[in-house]
Structure 1
């Protein structure tokens, strides 16, 4: 039966990439996603792009939420996306970025394949609603 995917909870990987050691926001969003009924996997701190790709592929996630505050977003996030593409996992994965992303960097990230960027002050409800509306909608 093809209903397995429709009946299981939305699977989300909340990931911290690079040397960024600030994970409070990642924990807040992981808790909010759990409270919303999503299945959540948290990567832990200081993950290389390759580690995040491996976790996303192995866990068959619907959503990859990358939390980044280090300023290395233009380098690290495209590496994650390229890795997902190499495993043929990009098209089926909703890619979200949370953190402090300058306005001038957003078009480049969106062009690389990021579906949404959530900055400081974004409501938890808006983020959860975005996932509900867009995860697995293909």
Structure 2
């Protein structure tokens, strides 16, 4: 083994790092420290997302939504990643499953996510997002 982190380790780090970016990007007091270019670089060409509602979003729609949502939350916004697990994988592609728990304005939600990553030498963690599917486990309250 070359001593390089495993594909699962790199993809797991990417999941955690990207959600840290979201908190920084969406929270008004922290938005100036968030690097949108980093987000754009890890969204692979052809990226698609199935939102918890079932809506299918392409890469451009996701980039536009995130870009336009900068600094839209006060300080009461947090995301935690739980139960991260490896699914199917090859030497350069992996499916990672995890639970994303959010708190926004005192309301809690949870979603189960499965993401497909491929290796990319130019990405910060060595992987880029290719596909994301989210399903509600707990819809935001009230």
TM norm. shorter chain > 0.5: no
Quick check: which one's strand share is greater?
Answer: 2
Which protein has the larger Cα radius of gyration, Structure 1 or Structure 2? Answer: 2
